[in-house]
Structure 1
Amino acid sequence: MMQPQETDIAVNTMRSRLTVLGFVLTIITFQISQVIYPAAKAVENGGLSPQRFGLGVALLLGALVTLLALVVFIMSSRLNREGTCSIHFVIIGDLLMYLALIMTLFIFISPYEPVLDQFSASLVDQDLSNIRHAVLGFGVFVWIFVGFVAPGLLMLRLSVSVVMRLLYFISYSICLALLTWLVLLASNLERGADPPNFMEVIRSTLFAPMDWTGAGL
Protein backbone atom coordinates (compact mmCIF):
# COMPACT_ATOMS: atom_id res chain seq x y z
CA MET A 1 0.00 0.00 0.00
CA MET A 2 1.45 3.34 -1.02
CA GLN A 3 1.88 5.97 1.64
CA PRO A 4 0.52 9.48 0.88
CA GLN A 5 3.18 11.93 -0.18
CA GLU A 6 3.70 14.70 2.34
CA THR A 7 3.50 18.19 0.89
CA ASP A 8 4.22 21.63 2.28
CA ILE A 9 1.43 24.10 3.01
CA ALA A 10 1.05 27.53 1.39
CA VAL A 11 1.94 30.35 3.74
CA ASN A 12 -1.43 32.07 3.14
CA THR A 13 -3.15 29.06 4.73
CA MET A 14 -1.11 29.59 7.87
CA ARG A 15 -1.85 33.31 7.86
CA SER A 16 -5.60 32.68 7.86
CA ARG A 17 -5.12 30.65 11.06
CA LEU A 18 -3.26 33.54 12.64
CA THR A 19 -6.29 35.74 11.97
CA VAL A 20 -8.57 33.33 13.82
CA LEU A 21 -6.17 33.10 16.75
CA GLY A 22 -5.92 36.88 16.88
CA PHE A 23 -9.71 37.05 17.21
CA VAL A 24 -9.66 34.42 19.97
CA LEU A 25 -6.87 36.19 21.85
CA THR A 26 -8.80 39.48 21.68
CA ILE A 27 -11.84 37.88 23.33
CA ILE A 28 -9.74 36.19 26.00
CA THR A 29 -7.78 39.36 26.77
CA PHE A 30 -10.97 41.38 27.19
CA GLN A 31 -12.46 38.75 29.51
CA ILE A 32 -9.26 38.55 31.56
CA SER A 33 -9.51 42.28 32.24
CA GLN A 34 -13.08 41.75 33.46
CA VAL A 35 -12.54 38.59 35.55
CA ILE A 36 -8.96 37.87 36.59
CA TYR A 37 -7.70 41.40 37.28
CA PRO A 38 -10.57 42.27 39.68
CA ALA A 39 -10.08 38.91 41.46
CA ALA A 40 -6.36 39.55 41.84
CA LYS A 41 -7.09 43.01 43.22
CA ALA A 42 -9.54 41.54 45.74
CA VAL A 43 -6.89 39.09 46.93
CA GLU A 44 -4.43 41.94 47.38
CA ASN A 45 -7.01 43.70 49.56
CA GLY A 46 -7.42 40.63 51.78
CA GLY A 47 -10.48 39.09 50.13
CA LEU A 48 -10.61 35.56 48.77
CA SER A 49 -13.58 34.08 46.94
CA PRO A 50 -13.93 31.11 44.56
CA GLN A 51 -16.51 33.03 42.53
CA ARG A 52 -15.91 32.65 38.75
CA PHE A 53 -12.88 30.48 39.48
CA GLY A 54 -13.79 28.08 36.68
CA LEU A 55 -14.05 30.92 34.18
CA GLY A 56 -10.71 32.29 35.32
CA VAL A 57 -9.00 28.93 34.81
CA ALA A 58 -10.55 28.59 31.34
CA LEU A 59 -9.33 32.09 30.44
CA LEU A 60 -5.77 31.33 31.51
CA LEU A 61 -5.72 27.98 29.71
CA GLY A 62 -7.25 29.56 26.60
CA ALA A 63 -4.62 32.30 26.56
CA LEU A 64 -1.76 29.81 26.98
CA VAL A 65 -3.04 27.48 24.26
CA THR A 66 -3.63 30.40 21.89
CA LEU A 67 -0.12 31.76 22.41
CA LEU A 68 1.34 28.29 21.90
CA ALA A 69 -0.62 27.90 18.65
CA LEU A 70 0.64 31.28 17.42
CA VAL A 71 4.24 30.28 18.09
CA VAL A 72 3.81 26.91 16.35
CA PHE A 73 2.32 28.57 13.26
CA ILE A 74 5.17 31.08 13.15
CA MET A 75 7.68 28.23 13.46
CA SER A 76 5.99 26.41 10.56
CA SER A 77 7.24 28.90 7.98
CA ARG A 78 10.12 27.68 5.83
CA LEU A 79 12.77 30.21 4.85
CA ASN A 80 12.60 29.57 1.11
CA ARG A 81 11.57 31.38 -2.06
CA GLU A 82 8.34 29.41 -2.42
CA GLY A 83 6.92 30.73 0.86
CA THR A 84 5.70 27.39 2.23
CA CYS A 85 5.10 25.93 5.70
CA SER A 86 5.92 22.56 7.22
CA ILE A 87 2.80 20.38 7.17
CA HIS A 88 3.50 18.87 10.60
CA PHE A 89 3.81 22.25 12.30
CA VAL A 90 0.60 23.39 10.61
CA ILE A 91 -1.21 20.26 11.79
CA ILE A 92 -0.08 20.81 15.38
CA GLY A 93 -1.05 24.48 15.11
CA ASP A 94 -4.49 23.54 13.78
CA LEU A 95 -5.14 21.16 16.67
CA LEU A 96 -4.00 23.78 19.18
CA MET A 97 -6.30 26.28 17.45
CA TYR A 98 -9.27 23.94 17.96
CA LEU A 99 -8.36 23.64 21.66
CA ALA A 100 -8.24 27.44 21.89
CA LEU A 101 -11.67 27.66 20.25
CA ILE A 102 -12.98 25.12 22.79
CA MET A 103 -11.84 27.35 25.66
CA THR A 104 -13.45 30.33 23.93
CA LEU A 105 -16.74 28.43 23.73
CA PHE A 106 -16.74 27.95 27.50
CA ILE A 107 -15.84 31.61 28.01
CA PHE A 108 -18.95 32.56 26.01
CA ILE A 109 -21.32 30.18 27.81
CA SER A 110 -20.09 30.34 31.40
CA PRO A 111 -21.16 33.92 32.34
CA TYR A 112 -24.62 33.43 30.81
CA GLU A 113 -25.69 30.26 32.62
CA PRO A 114 -25.74 31.72 36.20
CA VAL A 115 -27.98 34.53 34.92
CA LEU A 116 -30.48 31.98 33.65
CA ASP A 117 -30.24 30.09 36.96
CA GLN A 118 -31.00 33.26 38.90
CA PHE A 119 -34.06 33.99 36.79
CA SER A 120 -35.18 30.37 37.14
CA ALA A 121 -35.01 30.65 40.93
CA SER A 122 -37.25 33.73 41.00
CA LEU A 123 -39.53 33.00 38.03
CA VAL A 124 -41.35 29.79 37.19
CA ASP A 125 -41.51 30.13 33.43
CA GLN A 126 -41.44 27.28 30.95
CA ASP A 127 -40.22 29.59 28.19
CA LEU A 128 -37.21 30.56 30.32
CA SER A 129 -36.45 26.89 30.95
CA ASN A 130 -36.68 26.22 27.22
CA ILE A 131 -34.26 29.07 26.49
CA ARG A 132 -31.80 27.73 29.06
CA HIS A 133 -31.87 24.22 27.64
CA ALA A 134 -31.68 25.51 24.08
CA VAL A 135 -28.59 27.63 24.82
CA LEU A 136 -26.78 24.81 26.60
CA GLY A 137 -27.93 22.21 24.07
CA PHE A 138 -26.65 24.27 21.17
CA GLY A 139 -23.44 24.81 23.16
CA VAL A 140 -23.00 21.03 23.32
CA PHE A 141 -23.60 20.79 19.56
CA VAL A 142 -20.95 23.43 18.84
CA TRP A 143 -18.61 21.76 21.34
CA ILE A 144 -18.90 18.40 19.56
CA PHE A 145 -18.45 20.01 16.15
CA VAL A 146 -15.41 22.09 17.13
CA GLY A 147 -13.90 19.52 19.46
CA PHE A 148 -14.38 16.34 17.44
CA VAL A 149 -15.95 16.74 14.00
CA ALA A 150 -13.62 19.47 12.70
CA PRO A 151 -10.39 17.81 13.94
CA GLY A 152 -11.65 14.46 12.62
CA LEU A 153 -12.24 15.91 9.16
CA LEU A 154 -8.78 17.48 9.33
CA MET A 155 -7.27 14.05 10.03
CA LEU A 156 -9.10 12.50 7.08
CA ARG A 157 -7.81 15.11 4.64
CA LEU A 158 -4.17 15.03 5.72
CA SER A 159 -1.50 13.91 3.27
CA VAL A 160 0.39 11.96 5.95
CA SER A 161 0.44 8.30 6.92
CA VAL A 162 -2.42 6.67 8.84
CA VAL A 163 -0.09 6.08 11.79
CA MET A 164 0.70 9.78 12.01
CA ARG A 165 -2.99 10.66 11.78
CA LEU A 166 -3.80 8.35 14.68
CA LEU A 167 -0.89 9.71 16.69
CA TYR A 168 -2.03 13.28 16.15
CA PHE A 169 -5.66 12.54 17.01
CA ILE A 170 -4.81 10.53 20.14
CA SER A 171 -2.49 13.29 21.35
CA TYR A 172 -5.18 15.88 20.65
CA SER A 173 -7.81 13.84 22.52
CA ILE A 174 -5.54 13.53 25.57
CA CYS A 175 -4.94 17.30 25.60
CA LEU A 176 -8.68 17.94 25.22
CA ALA A 177 -9.49 15.62 28.14
CA LEU A 178 -6.81 17.29 30.28
CA LEU A 179 -8.14 20.79 29.58
CA THR A 180 -11.74 19.80 30.27
CA TRP A 181 -10.69 18.06 33.49
CA LEU A 182 -8.91 21.18 34.73
CA VAL A 183 -11.88 23.44 33.97
CA LEU A 184 -14.33 20.94 35.46
CA LEU A 185 -12.20 20.66 38.59
CA ALA A 186 -12.12 24.45 38.94
CA SER A 187 -15.88 24.67 38.37
CA ASN A 188 -16.51 22.02 41.04
CA LEU A 189 -14.33 23.89 43.52
CA GLU A 190 -16.27 27.05 42.70
CA ARG A 191 -19.57 25.28 43.49
CA GLY A 192 -18.19 23.48 46.54
CA ALA A 193 -18.58 20.08 44.85
CA ASP A 194 -16.27 17.06 45.07
CA PRO A 195 -13.42 16.65 42.57
CA PRO A 196 -14.58 14.92 39.36
CA ASN A 197 -14.15 11.17 39.01
CA PHE A 198 -13.02 9.37 35.87
CA MET A 199 -16.50 9.00 34.35
CA GLU A 200 -17.29 12.67 34.97
CA VAL A 201 -14.10 13.64 33.15
CA ILE A 202 -15.05 11.44 30.18
CA ARG A 203 -18.59 12.89 30.08
CA SER A 204 -17.22 16.40 30.41
CA THR A 205 -14.88 15.80 27.49
CA LEU A 206 -17.85 14.79 25.35
CA PHE A 207 -20.53 17.21 26.62
CA ALA A 208 -18.50 19.86 28.41
CA PRO A 209 -20.90 22.84 28.44
CA MET A 210 -23.42 20.84 30.48
CA ASP A 211 -20.89 19.72 33.09
CA TRP A 212 -18.90 22.95 33.29
CA THR A 213 -22.00 24.96 34.14
CA GLY A 214 -23.42 22.33 36.50
CA ALA A 215 -26.53 21.93 34.41
CA GLY A 216 -26.28 18.16 34.07
CA LEU A 217 -27.33 16.07 31.13
Structure 2
Amino acid sequence: MNLIWFCALSLIFPSKALPEVIVQDTIAIKGEDVVLAAETRGRFFKRGGEVVEFFVDRRSLGKVLSGGDGVAFKTFLPKKASLYRIAVKAGQDEGHGLLLSLEKGSRIVFVDVEASLMEELFSGKSKQGSQAAVRDIQRRFPVVFLQTGPLSAKQVKEWLKEHGFIKSPLLPWKQGAVFDDMIGKGFRIRAIIGGPDVIESAKGYTTSAFSFEEEENAREVKDWEEIRKTLR
Protein backbone atom coordinates (compact mmCIF):
# COMPACT_ATOMS: atom_id res chain seq x y z
CA MET A 1 0.00 0.00 0.00
CA ASN A 2 1.34 3.44 -0.90
CA LEU A 3 2.37 5.30 2.26
CA ILE A 4 0.55 8.50 1.21
CA TRP A 5 -2.67 6.52 0.80
CA PHE A 6 -2.07 4.78 4.13
CA CYS A 7 -1.68 8.14 5.90
CA ALA A 8 -4.76 9.51 4.15
CA LEU A 9 -6.79 6.55 5.37
CA SER A 10 -5.56 7.11 8.91
CA LEU A 11 -6.90 10.67 8.79
CA ILE A 12 -10.28 9.54 7.51
CA PHE A 13 -10.48 6.51 9.82
CA PRO A 14 -8.31 7.35 12.85
CA SER A 15 -7.25 4.30 14.84
CA LYS A 16 -8.81 5.63 18.04
CA ALA A 17 -12.25 5.46 16.41
CA LEU A 18 -12.01 1.68 16.02
CA PRO A 19 -12.07 -0.92 18.81
CA GLU A 20 -8.62 -2.43 19.21
CA VAL A 21 -6.04 -3.89 21.55
CA ILE A 22 -2.64 -2.18 21.50
CA VAL A 23 0.32 -4.25 22.70
CA GLN A 24 3.55 -2.49 23.57
CA ASP A 25 6.80 -3.94 22.22
CA THR A 26 9.49 -4.23 24.88
CA ILE A 27 13.08 -5.26 25.61
CA ALA A 28 13.91 -7.38 28.66
CA ILE A 29 16.85 -9.07 30.34
CA LYS A 30 16.92 -12.85 30.12
CA GLY A 31 16.04 -14.45 33.45
CA GLU A 32 14.37 -11.35 34.91
CA ASP A 33 10.63 -10.70 35.20
CA VAL A 34 9.19 -8.24 32.70
CA VAL A 35 5.78 -6.58 32.82
CA LEU A 36 3.83 -6.90 29.58
CA ALA A 37 1.32 -4.15 28.88
CA ALA A 38 -1.69 -3.84 26.60
CA GLU A 39 -4.32 -1.15 26.17
CA THR A 40 -7.96 -1.84 25.32
CA ARG A 41 -9.67 0.89 23.32
CA GLY A 42 -13.28 1.30 22.29
CA ARG A 43 -14.55 3.37 19.38
CA PHE A 44 -14.11 6.64 21.22
CA PHE A 45 -12.98 5.83 24.78
CA LYS A 46 -10.61 3.49 26.57
CA ARG A 47 -12.29 0.30 27.76
CA GLY A 48 -11.69 -0.30 31.46
CA GLY A 49 -12.71 -3.44 33.31
CA GLU A 50 -12.21 -5.70 30.28
CA VAL A 51 -11.18 -9.34 30.65
CA VAL A 52 -7.80 -9.53 28.91
CA GLU A 53 -5.83 -12.70 28.13
CA PHE A 54 -2.09 -12.62 27.41
CA PHE A 55 -0.29 -15.17 25.23
CA VAL A 56 3.45 -15.67 24.67
CA ASP A 57 4.31 -17.76 21.61
CA ARG A 58 0.68 -19.00 21.65
CA ARG A 59 0.88 -20.14 25.29
CA SER A 60 -1.63 -18.48 27.61
CA LEU A 61 -0.29 -16.60 30.62
CA GLY A 62 -3.78 -16.23 32.06
CA LYS A 63 -6.45 -13.56 32.23
CA VAL A 64 -6.54 -10.20 34.02
CA LEU A 65 -8.85 -7.19 34.13
CA SER A 66 -7.82 -3.93 32.49
CA GLY A 67 -7.81 -0.91 34.77
CA GLY A 68 -9.98 2.16 34.51
CA ASP A 69 -7.46 3.62 32.05
CA GLY A 70 -7.92 0.61 29.78
CA VAL A 71 -4.43 -0.77 30.45
CA ALA A 72 -3.80 -4.37 31.51
CA PHE A 73 -0.55 -5.85 32.81
CA LYS A 74 0.89 -9.35 33.07
CA THR A 75 4.27 -10.49 34.37
CA PHE A 76 6.39 -12.89 32.31
CA LEU A 77 9.79 -14.48 32.92
CA PRO A 78 11.83 -14.90 29.72
CA LYS A 79 14.09 -17.88 30.40
CA LYS A 80 16.13 -17.58 27.21
CA ALA A 81 17.50 -14.86 24.97
CA SER A 82 14.96 -14.86 22.17
CA LEU A 83 12.32 -12.93 20.26
CA TYR A 84 8.92 -13.76 21.76
CA ARG A 85 5.59 -13.16 20.00
CA ILE A 86 3.00 -11.55 22.28
CA ALA A 87 -0.74 -11.76 21.61
CA VAL A 88 -3.44 -10.17 23.74
CA LYS A 89 -7.17 -10.85 23.41
CA ALA A 90 -10.07 -8.81 24.80
CA GLY A 91 -13.45 -10.04 23.66
CA GLN A 92 -13.43 -10.22 19.86
CA ASP A 93 -10.41 -7.92 19.57
CA GLU A 94 -6.79 -9.03 19.44
CA GLY A 95 -3.46 -7.21 19.35
CA HIS A 96 0.12 -8.34 18.79
CA GLY A 97 3.55 -7.22 19.89
CA LEU A 98 7.13 -8.39 20.35
CA LEU A 99 9.32 -9.03 23.37
CA LEU A 100 13.06 -9.19 22.77
CA SER A 101 14.92 -10.91 25.62
CA LEU A 102 18.67 -10.28 25.74
CA GLU A 103 21.66 -10.96 27.96
CA LYS A 104 22.47 -8.13 30.34
CA GLY A 105 25.14 -5.92 28.78
CA SER A 106 24.07 -6.68 25.21
CA ARG A 107 25.07 -4.00 22.71
CA ILE A 108 22.04 -2.81 20.76
CA VAL A 109 21.90 -1.10 17.37
CA PHE A 110 19.02 1.40 17.25
CA VAL A 111 17.54 2.31 13.86
CA ASP A 112 15.40 5.42 13.37
CA VAL A 113 12.83 4.14 10.85
CA GLU A 114 11.62 7.41 9.35
CA ALA A 115 15.07 9.03 9.04
CA SER A 116 17.13 5.97 8.07
CA LEU A 117 14.96 3.40 6.31
CA MET A 118 12.42 5.50 4.42
CA GLU A 119 13.65 7.15 1.23
CA GLU A 120 11.28 10.02 1.91
CA LEU A 121 8.57 10.13 4.55
CA PHE A 122 5.65 10.19 2.10
CA SER A 123 7.23 8.36 -0.85
CA GLY A 124 6.45 4.92 0.54
CA LYS A 125 9.86 3.69 -0.65
CA SER A 126 12.66 2.17 1.40
CA LYS A 127 16.31 3.14 1.03
CA GLN A 128 18.15 0.89 -1.38
CA GLY A 129 19.80 -2.09 0.28
CA SER A 130 18.42 -1.26 3.73
CA GLN A 131 16.60 -4.57 4.24
CA ALA A 132 19.66 -6.72 3.51
CA ALA A 133 21.98 -4.47 5.52
CA VAL A 134 19.75 -4.50 8.61
CA ARG A 135 19.39 -8.27 8.34
CA ASP A 136 23.17 -8.65 8.17
CA ILE A 137 23.74 -6.32 11.13
CA GLN A 138 21.23 -8.32 13.18
CA ARG A 139 23.42 -11.40 12.82
CA ARG A 140 26.05 -9.61 14.94
CA PHE A 141 24.03 -7.27 17.17
CA PRO A 142 20.40 -7.04 18.32
CA VAL A 143 18.54 -4.43 16.27
CA VAL A 144 15.74 -2.29 17.68
CA PHE A 145 13.63 0.06 15.56
CA LEU A 146 12.69 3.55 16.75
CA GLN A 147 9.46 5.42 16.06
CA THR A 148 10.45 9.08 15.86
CA GLY A 149 8.19 10.89 13.40
CA PRO A 150 4.51 11.70 12.83
CA LEU A 151 3.48 8.17 11.87
CA SER A 152 1.84 6.01 14.53
CA ALA A 153 3.47 2.80 15.76
CA LYS A 154 0.81 0.83 13.88
CA GLN A 155 1.62 2.64 10.62
CA VAL A 156 5.36 2.17 11.06
CA LYS A 157 4.96 -1.55 11.77
CA GLU A 158 2.77 -1.99 8.70
CA TRP A 159 5.38 -0.21 6.59
CA LEU A 160 8.23 -2.36 7.94
CA LYS A 161 6.27 -5.54 7.26
CA GLU A 162 5.22 -4.44 3.79
CA HIS A 163 8.82 -3.67 2.83
CA GLY A 164 10.29 -6.94 4.06
CA PHE A 165 12.27 -5.82 7.10
CA ILE A 166 13.21 -8.17 9.92
CA LYS A 167 10.86 -8.68 12.85
CA SER A 168 12.17 -6.67 15.77
CA PRO A 169 10.63 -4.46 18.46
CA LEU A 170 9.59 -0.92 17.62
CA LEU A 171 10.03 1.46 20.55
CA PRO A 172 8.95 5.10 20.81
CA TRP A 173 11.94 7.44 20.87
CA LYS A 174 10.34 9.74 23.49
CA GLN A 175 12.85 12.54 22.85
CA GLY A 176 15.69 10.25 23.91
CA ALA A 177 14.10 8.76 27.03
CA VAL A 178 14.27 5.34 25.37
CA PHE A 179 18.07 5.43 25.69
CA ASP A 180 17.85 6.28 29.39
CA ASP A 181 15.51 3.31 29.82
CA MET A 182 17.82 0.89 28.01
CA ILE A 183 20.94 1.99 29.89
CA GLY A 184 19.00 1.77 33.15
CA LYS A 185 18.11 -1.84 32.38
CA GLY A 186 21.76 -2.73 31.90
CA PHE A 187 22.07 -2.68 28.12
CA ARG A 188 24.66 -0.83 26.04
CA ILE A 189 24.30 1.06 22.78
CA ARG A 190 26.47 -0.29 19.97
CA ALA A 191 25.33 2.30 17.44
CA ILE A 192 22.61 4.78 16.51
CA ILE A 193 21.43 5.17 12.92
CA GLY A 194 19.10 8.11 12.58
CA GLY A 195 18.37 11.77 12.17
CA PRO A 196 20.19 14.63 13.94
CA ASP A 197 17.76 14.94 16.86
CA VAL A 198 17.90 11.23 17.65
CA ILE A 199 21.69 11.16 17.50
CA GLU A 200 22.00 14.28 19.64
CA SER A 201 19.78 12.71 22.31
CA ALA A 202 22.08 9.67 22.58
CA LYS A 203 25.50 11.31 22.41
CA GLY A 204 26.15 10.71 26.11
CA TYR A 205 25.78 6.95 25.62
CA THR A 206 27.64 6.18 22.39
CA THR A 207 30.16 7.66 20.00
CA SER A 208 29.12 5.34 17.17
CA ALA A 209 26.43 7.08 15.14
CA PHE A 210 25.50 7.21 11.46
CA SER A 211 23.24 9.61 9.61
CA PHE A 212 22.13 10.24 6.04
CA GLU A 213 22.20 13.94 6.92
CA GLU A 214 25.06 16.18 7.97
CA GLU A 215 25.41 15.90 11.74
CA GLU A 216 28.30 16.98 13.95
CA ASN A 217 28.07 13.94 16.23
CA ALA A 218 27.68 11.30 13.52
CA ARG A 219 29.39 9.87 10.49
CA GLU A 220 27.50 10.98 7.41
CA VAL A 221 26.88 8.07 5.04
CA LYS A 222 25.55 7.83 1.50
CA ASP A 223 24.06 4.33 1.65
CA TRP A 224 23.37 1.32 3.89
CA GLU A 225 26.25 -0.67 2.45
CA GLU A 226 28.65 1.76 4.12
CA ILE A 227 26.94 1.20 7.48
CA ARG A 228 26.88 -2.57 7.03
CA LYS A 229 30.63 -2.73 6.35
CA THR A 230 31.43 -0.54 9.35
CA LEU A 231 29.33 -2.34 11.97
CA ARG A 232 31.45 -5.44 12.42
Q: Same fold (TM over 0.5)?
A: no
Q: By percentage of residues, which structure has more helix?
A: 1
Q: By percentage of residues, which structure has more strand?
A: 2
Which structure has the bigger radius of gyration?
1
Normalised TM-score (structure 1) = 0.26
Higher relative contact order (CA 8 A, sep 6+): 1
